[in-house]
Amino acid sequence: MEQRIILASQSPRRRELLTLAGITYEIEPSDVEEVITKKTPWDVVMELAIQKAKDVADRHCKEQVVVIGADTIVAYQGEILGKPRSEKDALDMLMRLQGSVHQVYTGVSILCPCKNDQRTFVEKTEVEFYPMTEKEIMDYVSTGDCMDKAGAYGIQTSFCVHVKQIHGDYNNVVGLPVARLYQELKKMDLL
């Protein structure tokens, strides 16, 4: 049975992935003040995904809706790398990531307020970059593409030439493990 689905995100990448999957949805971004109480990357993304989904679901508590909240982070050697605060921050992040392997985690929370049903999961993808010169990194940072992305890069942009390999779901790195989400929605009888 198809439900009214609300994506609690403004991310153009998440919107594009849901559209590609053939999922009909509405957009209602969460404006919750994110509070992080966890330490490990997978716990952090689950916590933030739940907060976002709950924020939007609370606005629709008596309606037949499904709310999807998601959060993506990059982790390198156990340290969480969020969105860069400046070009220097982006440059520093990419200098650390070049020539090495890091992890991308996306937490997804599916909340059905009327049914009091919630499922949350985490998807992990390992990404390895080729070695890069400082000039290559500076050229990419100067495009501004890195500023709204965890880890300071977009795998689906011109930065793709620096990605040596990935292990796991490519779409997870883009911002939403849409195949896993689709399967979870099917299990919940929501598609």
Residues 98-126 have pLDDT tens digits of 999 999 999 999 999 878 889 999 999 99
Q: Which of 123, 109, 110, 124 is nearest to 180 (CA)?
A: 123
CB atoms within 10 A of CB 89: 17
At which residue do the structure tokens 């009091």 appear? 116
- If one counts the domains in the chain, the total is 1
Residue 21, both tokens: 């999957």
Q: Give pLDDT, residue 190.
A: 85
Active-site positions read 71
pLDDT in tens, 53-77: 999 999 998 888 999 999 999 999 9
pTM: 0.93
Q: Give pLDDT, residue 2.
A: 60
Q: Which of 37, 35, 27, 105 is nearest to 69 (CA)?
A: 27
Low-confidence ranges of the chain (pLDDT < 50): none
Q: Which domain holds residue 75?
A: 4-187
User: Any idea what the CATH number is for the domain that residue 47 is in?
Assistant: 3.90.950.10
**Cα-only R_g, the chain:** 17
- What is the distance between the alpha carbons of residues 93 and 152, in angstroms, rounded to a whole number? 7
